[in-house]
């Protein structure tokens, strides 16, 4: 069964990257960290023996300096519209198992990605919950149904809860799902400090983020 990892990312651009961290650490740091997080995520995907694609927004961004593989533009619409469009595009190319991954969890263990694909051999849907109330990963062995995101707020502490309600409804239609282990995205100052602690404990994780944090005296 053909499989693909789709990294869904916002382009690292000055003044638009990691805006909440920019308030306390400055826009230059936020840009460097956002770029490092994306690079670490792409290198993480390279450890899994599946095809990787990068889906970037905004559409005018040139990602060639970040990624030599195939790049797709996310296009217009809200996040759910763009996710559904990406899933549909990949399935039209012939991919059967599609796992969509954000770029906000640069030190995610590869074992969680492997578990996602393994789960899709038994169940049609898999979700990686984040501790901020969202999700870091969404995978499916079937084309994602439009109703999956009905009533689900974007970037909210209620995102995962509302998504889970829809998942339970879909499971009654033979669209069962599995939740992976939770992880923490890096968006707020508290998230950044926890990333620093994890990188102190795991010297092999997120080397690009490690370099940025060391350069700014945070690690």
Tell me the pLDDT band of 118, cut-offs 50, 70 and 90: very high
Of 58, 54, 79, whose CA–CA distance to 67 is shortest? 54
Q: For 87-115, what is each residue's pLDDT tens digit?
A: 999 999 999 999 999 999 999 999 999 99
Inter-CA distances, 164 with 62, 120, 148, 198, Å: 35, 17, 9, 28
Pairing of strands 125-129, 135-140: antiparallel
In sequence order, what are the residues at sequence separation of 6 or more whose Cβ sits closer than 8 angstroms to the Cβ of residue 116?
A: 99, 126, 128, 137, 139, 180
Backbone angles phi, psi at 3, to 5 degrees: -130, 150
Q: For 48-72, what is each residue's pLDDT tens digit?
A: 999 999 999 998 898 988 999 999 9
Give the pTM. Answer: 0.95
Tell me the pLDDT band of 173, cut-offs 50, 70 and 90: confident
Tell me the pLDDT band of 130, cut-offs 50, 70 and 90: very high
In sequence order, what are the residues at sequence separation of 6 or more whose Cβ sits closer than 8 angstroms to the Cβ of residue 70?
A: 53, 54
d(CA 10, CA 7): 10
What mean pLDDT value characterizes the chain? 95
Domain of 74, in residue numbers: 3-215
Domain with 176 in it: what CATH number? 3.90.550.10
């Amino acid at each position: 069964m053909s499989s693909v990892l789709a990294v869904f990312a916002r382009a690292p651009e000055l003044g638009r990257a990691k805006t909440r961290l920019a308030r306390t650490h400055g826009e230059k740091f936020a840009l460097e960290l956002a770029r490092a997080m994306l690079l670490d995520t792409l290198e993480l995907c390279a450890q899994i023996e599946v095809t990787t694609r990068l889906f970037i927004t905004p559409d005018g961004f040139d990602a060639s300096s970040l990624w030599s593989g195939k790049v797709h533009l996310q296009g217009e619409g809200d996040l759910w519209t763009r996710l559904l469009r990406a899933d549909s595009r990949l399935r039209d190319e012939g991919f059967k198992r599609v796992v969509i991954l954000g770029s906000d969890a640069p030190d995610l263990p590869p074992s969680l990605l492997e578990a996602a694909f393994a789960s899709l051999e038994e169940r049609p849907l898999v979700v990686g919950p984040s501790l901020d109330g969202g999700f870091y990963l969404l995978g499916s062995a079937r084309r994602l149904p439009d109703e999956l995101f009905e009533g689900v707020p974007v970037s909210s502490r209620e995102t995962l809860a509302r998504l889970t309600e829809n998942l339970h409804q879909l499971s009654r239609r033979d669209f069962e799902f599995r939740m992976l282990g939770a992880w923490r995205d890096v968006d707020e100052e508290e998230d950044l400090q926890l990333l620093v602690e994890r990188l102190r404990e795991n010297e092999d994780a997120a080397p690009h983020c490690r370099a940025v944090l060391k350069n700014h005296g945070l690690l």
